[in-house]
Structure 1
Amino acid sequence: MMKEGEQWMRDTADSCMLVATLIATVVFAAAFTVPGGTLQDKGTPVFLKEIAFKIFAISDAISLVTSASSLLTFLSIRTSRYAERDFLWTLPNRLIIGLTTLFISIGAMMVAFMATFFLVFSNRLQKYSIPIAAVASLPVLFFIWQHFRLFVDMIHSTYTSRSLFKPNKSPLFSKKAKVA
Structure 2
Amino acid sequence: MKETATSCTVVGALIITIMFAAAITIPGGNDSNTGLPLFLNSKVFTLFIIYDALSLLSSSTSILMFLGILTSRYAEEDFLESLPKKMIIGLSTLIFSIATMMITFCACLFIILHGKSWMVICLAGVPVALFTLTQFRLLIDMFNSTYGSGIFDRNMDSWY
Q: 1:67 aligns with which of 45, 59, 62?
A: 59
SS of 1:161 mapped into structure 2: coil
The RMSD of aligned alpha carbons is: 1.5
Q: Which residue of 2 aligns with 1:122?
A: 114
Provide the residue aligned with 2:121 in structure 1.
133
2:74 counterpart SS class: coil
- The residue number in structure 1 matching 2:34 is 42
1:76 & 1:106 partners in 2: Cα distance? 20
Deviation at 1:33, TM superposition (A): 0.3
2:31 partner SS: coil
Question: Percent identity, aligned pairs only?
Answer: 47
Q: How does 1:17-32 map to 2 (within 5 A)?
A: 17-32=9-24
- Give a deviation string over 1:39-82, Cα, whole Å, max 9, x none: 01111001111111000000000000000111111001000000
Secondary structure at the residue paired with 1:20? helix
1:160 maps to which of 121, 125, 148 = 148
Residue 132 of structure 1: CA displacement?
Answer: 1.2
Matched residue type, 1:147: Q
Distance 1:138 1:131 in 2: 12
Partners of 1:44 and 1:100 lie apart in 2 by 34
Q: Deviations over 1:78-131 (max 9, x none)?
A: 0000001111000000000000110111011000000000000026xx2xx322
**Aligned residue for 1:174?**
none
Q: TM-score normalized by structure 2?
A: 0.92
What is the distance in 2 between the residues matched to 1:37 and 1:161? 54
The total of aligned residue pairs comes to: 154
* Alignment match, 2:83: 91
Partner residue, 2:137: 149
Q: Which runs of 5+ in 2 are unaligned?
A: 154-160
Question: Runs of at least 4 residues of structure 1 off by over 3 A?
Answer: 162-165
Alpha-carbon distance in structure 1 between the residues aligned to 2:13 and 2:110: 26
What is the letter of the counterpart of residue 105 of structure 1?
A: S
Partners of 1:48 and 1:80 in 2: how far apart?
44
Question: TM-score scaled by structure 1?
Answer: 0.82
Q: Which amino acid aligns with 2:145?
A: S
